[in-house]
Structure 1
Amino acid sequence: MRQIVLDTETTGLEPQQGHRIIEIGCVELENRRATGRHFHHYIQPDREIDEGALAVHGISNEFLADKPRFEEIADEFVEFVRGGELIIHNAPFDIGFLDAELARLNGRHPSMHALCSVTDSLVLARQMHPGQRNSLDALCKRYGVNNEHRELHGALLDARILADVYLVMTGGQTSLSLAGHDAEGDGEDSGEAEGIRRLSAERPRLRVIHAADEELARHAATLEAIAAANGGQCLWNEEEG
Protein backbone atom coordinates (compact mmCIF):
# COMPACT_ATOMS: atom_id res chain seq x y z
CA MET A 1 0.00 0.00 0.00
CA ARG A 2 1.78 3.12 -1.27
CA GLN A 3 0.51 6.47 0.02
CA ILE A 4 1.74 9.96 -0.79
CA VAL A 5 1.06 12.71 1.75
CA LEU A 6 0.93 15.96 -0.23
CA ASP A 7 0.71 19.69 0.38
CA THR A 8 1.11 22.79 -1.77
CA GLU A 9 1.63 26.52 -1.29
CA THR A 10 0.19 28.97 -3.80
CA THR A 11 0.14 32.61 -4.87
CA GLY A 12 -3.51 32.95 -3.83
CA LEU A 13 -6.76 31.09 -3.28
CA GLU A 14 -8.31 30.60 -6.73
CA PRO A 15 -6.68 28.84 -9.71
CA GLN A 16 -9.58 30.17 -11.83
CA GLN A 17 -8.17 33.66 -11.20
CA GLY A 18 -4.77 32.64 -12.52
CA HIS A 19 -3.14 31.87 -9.19
CA ARG A 20 -0.32 29.33 -9.34
CA ILE A 21 1.50 26.75 -7.24
CA ILE A 22 4.80 27.95 -5.76
CA GLU A 23 5.75 24.91 -3.65
CA ILE A 24 4.96 21.19 -3.67
CA GLY A 25 5.91 18.82 -0.86
CA CYS A 26 5.26 15.06 -0.81
CA VAL A 27 6.19 12.34 1.69
CA GLU A 28 5.99 8.65 0.75
CA LEU A 29 4.48 5.98 3.02
CA GLU A 30 4.69 2.26 2.28
CA ASN A 31 2.49 -0.03 4.37
CA ARG A 32 1.97 2.85 6.81
CA ARG A 33 5.68 3.47 7.32
CA ALA A 34 7.72 6.42 6.08
CA THR A 35 10.15 5.25 3.40
CA GLY A 36 12.41 8.30 3.59
CA ARG A 37 11.56 9.22 -0.02
CA HIS A 38 10.06 12.63 -0.66
CA PHE A 39 9.41 15.08 -3.49
CA HIS A 40 9.96 18.80 -2.93
CA HIS A 41 10.25 21.79 -5.24
CA TYR A 42 9.80 25.54 -5.07
CA ILE A 43 8.30 26.84 -8.33
CA GLN A 44 8.51 30.12 -10.26
CA PRO A 45 4.85 31.16 -10.78
CA ASP A 46 5.34 34.00 -13.32
CA ARG A 47 2.97 36.22 -11.35
CA GLU A 48 2.86 38.22 -8.12
CA ILE A 49 2.02 36.57 -4.82
CA ASP A 50 -0.99 37.97 -2.95
CA GLU A 51 -0.17 39.70 0.33
CA GLY A 52 -2.54 37.40 2.19
CA ALA A 53 -0.79 34.30 0.84
CA LEU A 54 2.63 35.78 1.60
CA ALA A 55 1.58 36.28 5.23
CA VAL A 56 0.68 32.57 5.44
CA HIS A 57 3.77 30.95 3.91
CA GLY A 58 6.37 33.75 3.78
CA ILE A 59 7.60 32.77 0.29
CA SER A 60 8.46 35.87 -1.76
CA ASN A 61 8.69 36.47 -5.50
CA GLU A 62 12.35 37.37 -5.02
CA PHE A 63 13.04 33.95 -3.47
CA LEU A 64 11.29 32.20 -6.38
CA ALA A 65 12.97 34.20 -9.16
CA ASP A 66 15.54 31.50 -9.99
CA LYS A 67 13.35 28.46 -9.30
CA PRO A 68 12.08 26.11 -12.07
CA ARG A 69 8.62 26.51 -13.60
CA PHE A 70 6.00 23.81 -13.13
CA GLU A 71 6.46 22.47 -16.65
CA GLU A 72 10.10 21.74 -15.81
CA ILE A 73 9.30 19.58 -12.78
CA ALA A 74 5.98 18.12 -13.98
CA ASP A 75 7.39 14.82 -15.29
CA GLU A 76 9.27 14.16 -12.05
CA PHE A 77 6.20 15.00 -9.98
CA VAL A 78 3.85 12.79 -12.02
CA GLU A 79 6.28 9.88 -11.83
CA PHE A 80 6.50 10.25 -8.03
CA VAL A 81 2.74 10.22 -7.38
CA ARG A 82 1.53 7.94 -10.17
CA GLY A 83 -0.46 4.94 -8.91
CA GLY A 84 -0.37 5.96 -5.26
CA GLU A 85 -3.06 7.10 -2.85
CA LEU A 86 -2.74 10.82 -2.16
CA ILE A 87 -3.44 11.95 1.42
CA ILE A 88 -4.30 15.67 1.39
CA HIS A 89 -5.86 17.94 4.02
CA ASN A 90 -8.66 19.82 2.20
CA ALA A 91 -7.95 17.94 -1.02
CA PRO A 92 -10.17 19.99 -3.40
CA PHE A 93 -7.90 23.02 -2.90
CA ASP A 94 -4.63 21.27 -3.79
CA ILE A 95 -6.15 19.05 -6.51
CA GLY A 96 -7.76 22.09 -8.13
CA PHE A 97 -4.41 23.84 -8.37
CA LEU A 98 -2.56 20.73 -9.56
CA ASP A 99 -5.16 20.03 -12.25
CA ALA A 100 -4.92 23.66 -13.41
CA GLU A 101 -1.13 23.35 -13.70
CA LEU A 102 -1.37 20.04 -15.57
CA ALA A 103 -3.98 21.49 -17.94
CA ARG A 104 -1.47 24.16 -19.00
CA LEU A 105 0.76 21.40 -20.39
CA ASN A 106 -1.60 20.74 -23.32
CA GLY A 107 -2.34 17.07 -22.65
CA ARG A 108 1.15 16.01 -21.63
CA HIS A 109 -0.29 14.44 -18.47
CA PRO A 110 -3.82 13.47 -17.36
CA SER A 111 -5.67 14.94 -14.38
CA MET A 112 -4.72 14.01 -10.82
CA HIS A 113 -7.66 11.64 -10.33
CA ALA A 114 -6.53 9.74 -13.43
CA LEU A 115 -3.03 9.44 -11.98
CA CYS A 116 -3.89 8.32 -8.45
CA SER A 117 -6.64 8.01 -5.85
CA VAL A 118 -7.24 10.81 -3.35
CA THR A 119 -8.16 10.68 0.34
CA ASP A 120 -9.15 13.94 2.04
CA SER A 121 -7.92 13.82 5.63
CA LEU A 122 -10.07 16.86 6.48
CA VAL A 123 -13.24 14.98 5.51
CA LEU A 124 -12.07 11.98 7.53
CA ALA A 125 -11.32 14.18 10.57
CA ARG A 126 -14.77 15.79 10.37
CA GLN A 127 -16.38 12.35 10.34
CA MET A 128 -14.39 11.26 13.36
CA HIS A 129 -14.72 14.57 15.28
CA PRO A 130 -17.97 16.25 14.21
CA GLY A 131 -18.53 19.77 15.49
CA GLN A 132 -14.86 20.22 16.45
CA ARG A 133 -12.02 22.18 14.89
CA ASN A 134 -10.17 19.96 12.44
CA SER A 135 -7.41 22.17 11.07
CA LEU A 136 -3.96 20.60 10.93
CA ASP A 137 -2.90 22.57 14.02
CA ALA A 138 -6.02 21.43 15.91
CA LEU A 139 -5.39 17.80 14.97
CA CYS A 140 -1.77 18.07 16.09
CA LYS A 141 -2.96 19.25 19.50
CA ARG A 142 -5.66 16.56 19.68
CA TYR A 143 -3.32 13.70 18.79
CA GLY A 144 -0.18 14.97 20.51
CA VAL A 145 1.82 15.54 17.31
CA ASN A 146 4.61 18.08 17.84
CA ASN A 147 4.34 21.08 15.49
CA GLU A 148 6.19 23.66 17.55
CA HIS A 149 8.60 24.26 14.65
CA ARG A 150 5.71 25.30 12.37
CA GLU A 151 5.79 29.10 12.50
CA LEU A 152 4.77 29.52 8.86
CA HIS A 153 3.15 27.11 6.42
CA GLY A 154 5.51 25.12 4.21
CA ALA A 155 4.53 22.34 1.82
CA LEU A 156 7.13 19.74 2.80
CA LEU A 157 6.93 20.56 6.52
CA ASP A 158 3.14 20.38 6.49
CA ALA A 159 3.21 17.11 4.52
CA ARG A 160 5.47 15.57 7.16
CA ILE A 161 3.25 16.80 9.98
CA LEU A 162 0.12 15.56 8.19
CA ALA A 163 1.73 12.14 7.71
CA ASP A 164 2.21 11.85 11.49
CA VAL A 165 -1.33 13.03 12.18
CA TYR A 166 -2.88 10.72 9.57
CA LEU A 167 -1.09 7.62 10.89
CA VAL A 168 -2.20 8.31 14.45
CA MET A 169 -5.73 9.30 13.43
CA THR A 170 -6.34 6.20 11.30
CA GLY A 171 -4.44 3.52 13.14
CA GLY A 172 -2.90 4.60 16.41
CA GLN A 173 0.42 2.91 17.11
CA THR A 174 2.18 2.10 13.84
CA SER A 175 5.07 -0.01 15.15
CA LEU A 176 5.76 -2.22 18.13
CA SER A 177 9.18 -2.50 19.70
CA LEU A 178 9.64 -4.99 22.52
CA ALA A 179 12.46 -4.50 24.99
CA GLY A 180 15.04 -7.24 24.75
CA HIS A 181 14.50 -7.98 21.04
CA ASP A 182 16.26 -6.35 18.12
CA ALA A 183 14.58 -5.28 14.88
CA GLU A 184 15.42 -8.56 13.15
CA GLY A 185 14.07 -10.75 15.96
CA ASP A 186 17.14 -13.01 16.17
CA GLY A 187 15.99 -14.32 19.57
CA GLU A 188 19.15 -13.37 21.47
CA ASP A 189 18.59 -12.90 25.19
CA SER A 190 19.23 -9.29 26.20
CA GLY A 191 19.43 -10.18 29.88
CA GLU A 192 16.41 -8.06 30.78
CA ALA A 193 14.27 -11.16 31.44
CA GLU A 194 15.99 -11.52 34.83
CA GLY A 195 14.06 -8.47 36.02
CA ILE A 196 10.63 -10.02 35.35
CA ARG A 197 8.52 -10.51 38.50
CA ARG A 198 6.08 -13.42 38.15
CA LEU A 199 2.60 -13.11 39.68
CA SER A 200 1.46 -15.53 42.32
CA ALA A 201 -1.04 -18.18 41.28
CA GLU A 202 -3.15 -17.10 44.27
CA ARG A 203 -3.55 -13.49 43.09
CA PRO A 204 -7.03 -11.94 43.64
CA ARG A 205 -9.62 -12.07 40.86
CA LEU A 206 -9.39 -9.06 38.56
CA ARG A 207 -12.29 -6.62 38.52
CA VAL A 208 -14.13 -6.39 35.16
CA ILE A 209 -15.36 -2.90 34.18
CA HIS A 210 -17.81 -2.86 31.27
CA ALA A 211 -18.05 0.03 28.83
CA ALA A 212 -20.92 2.49 29.34
CA ASP A 213 -23.59 2.93 26.64
CA GLU A 214 -22.13 6.33 25.69
CA GLU A 215 -18.66 4.81 25.30
CA LEU A 216 -20.04 1.99 23.15
CA ALA A 217 -21.86 4.52 20.95
CA ARG A 218 -18.66 6.55 20.44
CA HIS A 219 -16.77 3.34 19.64
CA ALA A 220 -19.39 2.37 17.04
CA ALA A 221 -19.23 5.84 15.47
CA THR A 222 -15.45 5.60 15.19
CA LEU A 223 -15.69 2.19 13.46
CA GLU A 224 -18.25 3.60 11.02
CA ALA A 225 -15.87 6.48 10.19
CA ILE A 226 -13.01 4.04 9.59
CA ALA A 227 -15.23 1.93 7.36
CA ALA A 228 -16.36 5.00 5.40
CA ALA A 229 -12.74 5.94 4.76
CA ASN A 230 -11.87 2.42 3.57
CA GLY A 231 -14.58 1.65 1.06
CA GLY A 232 -17.05 0.31 3.61
CA GLN A 233 -14.61 -2.18 5.15
CA CYS A 234 -13.51 -2.25 8.77
CA LEU A 235 -11.91 -5.32 10.33
CA TRP A 236 -13.42 -4.63 13.76
CA ASN A 237 -16.94 -4.50 12.29
CA GLU A 238 -16.71 -8.00 10.81
CA GLU A 239 -18.59 -10.74 12.65
CA GLU A 240 -16.54 -13.52 14.13
CA GLY A 241 -16.69 -16.72 12.06
Structure 2
Amino acid sequence: MMPYDDLPPHSEPVLVGPDAQFGEINLARLQQLGMVTHMGGRTGVAEDFRLIKRPLLRTARGQDGPSLRHGNLIVVTSALPGEGKTYCAINLAMSMAMERDTTVLLVDADVARPSVLNVLGLPPRAGLMDVLLDDDLDLSDVILKTNVPALSILPAGRSNRHATELLASRSMCRLLDDIAERYPDRIVIFDSPPLLITTEASVLATQMGQVVMVVEAGRTTHGAVKESLRLIESCRHVNLICNKSAGTSAGSDYYSYFE
Protein backbone atom coordinates (compact mmCIF):
# COMPACT_ATOMS: atom_id res chain seq x y z
CA MET A 1 0.00 0.00 0.00
CA MET A 2 1.26 3.45 -0.87
CA PRO A 3 2.27 5.37 2.31
CA TYR A 4 0.08 8.41 1.69
CA ASP A 5 1.00 9.82 5.09
CA ASP A 6 4.52 10.43 3.78
CA LEU A 7 3.48 12.62 0.84
CA PRO A 8 4.93 16.15 0.93
CA PRO A 9 2.61 18.98 2.02
CA HIS A 10 0.95 21.19 -0.56
CA SER A 11 1.96 24.76 -1.19
CA GLU A 12 -0.11 27.59 0.29
CA PRO A 13 -3.79 27.14 -0.69
CA VAL A 14 -5.89 29.86 -2.27
CA LEU A 15 -9.53 30.34 -3.19
CA VAL A 16 -9.87 30.67 -6.95
CA GLY A 17 -13.15 31.71 -8.62
CA PRO A 18 -16.53 29.96 -8.52
CA ASP A 19 -15.00 26.49 -8.85
CA ALA A 20 -13.23 26.87 -5.49
CA GLN A 21 -16.12 25.17 -3.67
CA PHE A 22 -16.30 22.09 -5.88
CA GLY A 23 -13.79 19.29 -6.19
CA GLU A 24 -13.83 16.65 -8.92
CA ILE A 25 -12.42 13.55 -7.22
CA ASN A 26 -10.43 11.31 -9.55
CA LEU A 27 -12.50 8.18 -8.88
CA ALA A 28 -10.84 6.16 -11.63
CA ARG A 29 -7.44 6.77 -10.02
CA LEU A 30 -8.74 5.76 -6.60
CA GLN A 31 -10.17 2.58 -8.07
CA GLN A 32 -6.81 1.77 -9.69
CA LEU A 33 -5.17 2.25 -6.29
CA GLY A 34 -7.55 -0.32 -4.81
CA MET A 35 -9.50 2.18 -2.73
CA VAL A 36 -13.23 2.25 -2.03
CA THR A 37 -15.44 3.97 -4.62
CA HIS A 38 -19.13 3.67 -5.42
CA MET A 39 -18.19 2.31 -8.84
CA GLY A 40 -15.68 -0.23 -7.53
CA GLY A 41 -18.07 -3.06 -6.67
CA ARG A 42 -17.66 -5.60 -3.88
CA THR A 43 -13.90 -5.65 -3.54
CA GLY A 44 -12.09 -7.04 -0.51
CA VAL A 45 -11.25 -3.54 0.73
CA ALA A 46 -14.84 -2.38 0.27
CA GLU A 47 -16.08 -5.35 2.30
CA ASP A 48 -13.52 -4.67 5.03
CA PHE A 49 -14.71 -1.08 5.39
CA ARG A 50 -18.34 -2.15 5.42
CA LEU A 51 -17.47 -4.15 8.55
CA ILE A 52 -15.38 -1.34 10.04
CA LYS A 53 -17.98 1.40 9.58
CA ARG A 54 -20.94 -0.45 11.07
CA PRO A 55 -20.11 -0.15 14.82
CA LEU A 56 -18.94 3.45 14.28
CA LEU A 57 -22.28 4.34 12.69
CA ARG A 58 -24.23 2.60 15.45
CA THR A 59 -22.35 4.58 18.10
CA ALA A 60 -22.75 7.83 16.16
CA ARG A 61 -26.51 7.28 15.97
CA GLY A 62 -26.88 6.21 19.59
CA GLN A 63 -28.08 2.74 18.67
CA ASP A 64 -25.83 0.89 21.15
CA GLY A 65 -26.61 2.98 24.22
CA PRO A 66 -27.10 6.56 25.38
CA SER A 67 -26.46 9.29 22.83
CA LEU A 68 -22.77 10.24 22.78
CA ARG A 69 -21.68 13.88 22.62
CA HIS A 70 -19.99 14.48 19.29
CA GLY A 71 -20.54 10.82 18.49
CA ASN A 72 -20.70 11.70 14.80
CA LEU A 73 -17.19 13.20 14.95
CA ILE A 74 -14.68 10.41 14.24
CA VAL A 75 -10.94 11.03 14.18
CA VAL A 76 -8.58 8.63 12.38
CA THR A 77 -5.02 8.66 13.65
CA SER A 78 -1.96 6.43 14.15
CA ALA A 79 1.08 6.20 16.37
CA LEU A 80 3.59 7.00 13.62
CA PRO A 81 3.64 8.26 10.02
CA GLY A 82 3.22 5.82 7.16
CA GLU A 83 0.81 3.41 8.88
CA GLY A 84 -2.03 4.17 6.47
CA LYS A 85 -4.26 6.54 8.47
CA THR A 86 -5.04 8.78 5.46
CA TYR A 87 -5.79 5.71 3.35
CA CYS A 88 -8.16 4.46 6.06
CA ALA A 89 -9.78 7.87 6.61
CA ILE A 90 -10.57 8.27 2.90
CA ASN A 91 -11.82 4.70 2.51
CA LEU A 92 -13.98 5.04 5.62
CA ALA A 93 -15.44 8.33 4.35
CA MET A 94 -16.13 6.87 0.89
CA SER A 95 -17.78 3.80 2.41
CA MET A 96 -19.96 5.84 4.76
CA ALA A 97 -20.98 8.10 1.88
CA MET A 98 -22.67 5.06 0.31
CA GLU A 99 -25.08 4.83 3.25
CA ARG A 100 -28.64 5.96 2.69
CA ASP A 101 -29.80 9.07 4.59
CA THR A 102 -26.20 9.89 5.53
CA THR A 103 -23.87 12.68 4.44
CA VAL A 104 -20.15 12.65 5.14
CA LEU A 105 -17.67 15.46 5.69
CA LEU A 106 -14.00 14.45 5.35
CA VAL A 107 -11.71 16.87 7.20
CA ASP A 108 -7.98 17.01 6.55
CA ALA A 109 -6.84 17.87 10.06
CA ASP A 110 -3.22 16.82 9.49
CA VAL A 111 -2.42 20.51 9.22
CA ALA A 112 1.38 20.08 9.19
CA ARG A 113 1.43 17.52 6.37
CA PRO A 114 -1.97 17.55 4.63
CA SER A 115 -2.40 14.87 1.96
CA VAL A 116 -6.14 14.21 1.54
CA LEU A 117 -6.53 16.55 -1.44
CA ASN A 118 -3.41 15.14 -3.06
CA VAL A 119 -4.68 11.56 -2.78
CA LEU A 120 -8.06 12.57 -4.20
CA GLY A 121 -6.42 14.34 -7.14
CA LEU A 122 -7.46 17.84 -6.05
CA PRO A 123 -5.40 21.06 -5.96
CA PRO A 124 -4.68 22.96 -2.72
CA ARG A 125 -7.58 24.96 -1.26
CA ALA A 126 -8.28 27.15 1.75
CA GLY A 127 -9.70 25.23 4.67
CA LEU A 128 -9.72 24.55 8.41
CA MET A 129 -6.76 26.70 9.44
CA ASP A 130 -8.01 29.63 7.36
CA VAL A 131 -11.38 29.56 9.13
CA LEU A 132 -9.69 29.51 12.55
CA LEU A 133 -7.43 32.42 11.60
CA ASP A 134 -9.98 34.62 9.82
CA ASP A 135 -13.14 35.66 11.68
CA ASP A 136 -14.71 36.80 8.43
CA LEU A 137 -14.35 33.38 6.81
CA ASP A 138 -17.24 30.97 7.36
CA LEU A 139 -17.06 27.20 7.31
CA SER A 140 -19.41 27.17 4.32
CA ASP A 141 -16.87 29.27 2.39
CA VAL A 142 -14.26 26.50 2.35
CA ILE A 143 -16.18 23.20 2.35
CA LEU A 144 -15.90 21.50 -1.03
CA LYS A 145 -18.79 19.65 -2.59
CA THR A 146 -17.63 16.74 -4.73
CA ASN A 147 -18.75 14.47 -7.53
CA VAL A 148 -19.62 11.93 -4.82
CA PRO A 149 -23.04 13.37 -3.89
CA ALA A 150 -22.99 12.51 -0.17
CA LEU A 151 -19.32 13.43 0.38
CA SER A 152 -17.91 16.90 1.11
CA ILE A 153 -14.36 17.84 2.04
CA LEU A 154 -12.88 20.39 4.42
CA PRO A 155 -9.21 20.90 3.43
CA ALA A 156 -6.50 21.60 6.00
CA GLY A 157 -5.80 25.06 4.60
CA ARG A 158 -2.60 26.98 5.03
CA SER A 159 -0.07 25.76 7.59
CA ASN A 160 0.49 27.68 10.81
CA ARG A 161 3.13 27.27 13.50
CA HIS A 162 0.50 27.77 16.19
CA ALA A 163 -1.63 24.88 14.94
CA THR A 164 -1.78 23.13 18.33
CA GLU A 165 -3.06 26.24 20.05
CA LEU A 166 -5.58 26.84 17.26
CA LEU A 167 -6.92 23.28 17.49
CA ALA A 168 -7.26 23.68 21.27
CA SER A 169 -8.88 27.12 21.05
CA ARG A 170 -12.43 28.14 21.84
CA SER A 171 -12.88 28.92 18.16
CA MET A 172 -12.14 25.28 17.34
CA CYS A 173 -14.59 24.10 20.03
CA ARG A 174 -17.31 26.29 18.54
CA LEU A 175 -16.42 25.08 15.07
CA LEU A 176 -16.69 21.44 16.13
CA ASP A 177 -20.06 22.09 17.76
CA ASP A 178 -21.23 23.69 14.53
CA ILE A 179 -19.93 20.81 12.41
CA ALA A 180 -21.48 18.19 14.72
CA GLU A 181 -24.89 19.81 15.14
CA ARG A 182 -25.65 21.68 11.91
CA TYR A 183 -26.67 18.52 10.05
CA PRO A 184 -27.95 15.66 12.23
CA ASP A 185 -27.41 13.09 9.46
CA ARG A 186 -23.78 14.06 8.90
CA ILE A 187 -20.81 11.90 9.85
CA VAL A 188 -17.52 13.78 10.08
CA ILE A 189 -14.23 11.93 9.52
CA PHE A 190 -11.03 13.71 10.58
CA ASP A 191 -7.65 12.65 9.16
CA SER A 192 -5.40 13.49 12.11
CA PRO A 193 -1.62 13.78 12.53
CA PRO A 194 0.19 10.79 14.12
CA LEU A 195 -0.05 10.76 17.90
CA LEU A 196 3.67 10.31 18.66
CA ILE A 197 4.90 12.94 16.20
CA THR A 198 2.77 16.00 16.95
CA THR A 199 0.82 17.37 19.90
CA GLU A 200 -2.06 18.37 17.59
CA ALA A 201 -3.27 14.78 17.33
CA SER A 202 -3.96 14.22 21.04
CA VAL A 203 -5.54 17.69 21.37
CA LEU A 204 -7.86 16.92 18.47
CA ALA A 205 -8.70 13.41 19.68
CA THR A 206 -9.92 14.64 23.06
CA GLN A 207 -12.57 16.73 21.29
CA MET A 208 -13.95 13.83 19.23
CA GLY A 209 -16.76 11.43 20.07
CA GLN A 210 -14.92 8.44 18.57
CA VAL A 211 -11.27 7.66 17.86
CA VAL A 212 -9.98 5.17 15.29
CA MET A 213 -6.27 4.36 15.64
CA VAL A 214 -4.56 2.65 12.71
CA VAL A 215 -1.84 0.17 13.66
CA GLU A 216 0.41 -1.30 10.97
CA ALA A 217 0.77 -5.05 11.43
CA GLY A 218 4.37 -6.20 11.82
CA ARG A 219 5.73 -2.65 12.09
CA THR A 220 4.14 -0.68 14.91
CA THR A 221 5.67 -1.78 18.21
CA HIS A 222 3.69 -2.68 21.30
CA GLY A 223 5.39 0.21 23.09
CA ALA A 224 4.29 2.72 20.44
CA VAL A 225 0.69 1.52 20.62
CA LYS A 226 0.72 1.63 24.42
CA GLU A 227 2.17 5.16 24.49
CA SER A 228 -0.32 6.36 21.88
CA LEU A 229 -3.25 4.96 23.85
CA ARG A 230 -1.92 6.68 26.97
CA LEU A 231 -2.08 10.03 25.17
CA ILE A 232 -5.77 9.53 24.42
CA GLU A 233 -6.77 7.70 27.60
CA SER A 234 -9.42 10.35 28.33
CA CYS A 235 -11.26 9.36 25.14
CA ARG A 236 -14.11 6.96 25.89
CA HIS A 237 -14.57 5.33 22.50
CA VAL A 238 -11.26 4.20 21.01
CA ASN A 239 -11.13 1.63 18.20
CA LEU A 240 -8.12 -0.02 16.55
CA ILE A 241 -7.67 -0.97 12.91
CA CYS A 242 -4.87 -3.46 12.31
CA ASN A 243 -3.73 -2.37 8.84
CA LYS A 244 -1.93 -4.56 6.28
CA SER A 245 -2.71 -7.72 8.24
CA ALA A 246 -2.95 -10.98 6.33
CA GLY A 247 -5.86 -13.37 6.33
CA THR A 248 -8.80 -11.09 7.15
CA SER A 249 -12.36 -12.27 6.70
CA ALA A 250 -12.63 -10.50 3.36
CA GLY A 251 -9.61 -12.39 2.06
CA SER A 252 -7.51 -9.29 1.53
CA ASP A 253 -4.24 -8.12 3.02
CA TYR A 254 -5.54 -5.05 4.72
CA TYR A 255 -7.68 -4.77 7.81
CA SER A 256 -8.81 -6.26 11.07
CA TYR A 257 -10.95 -4.26 13.49
CA PHE A 258 -10.89 -4.23 17.27
CA GLU A 259 -13.03 -2.27 19.71
Do both share a fold (TM > 0.5)? no
Flag the structure with higher helix content: 1
Bigger relative contact order, structure 1 or 2 (CA pairs below 8 A, ≥6 apart): 2
Q: Under a length normalisation based on structure 2, what TM-score does the superposition of the two structures give?
A: 0.25
- Greater Cα radius of gyration, structure 1 or 2: 1
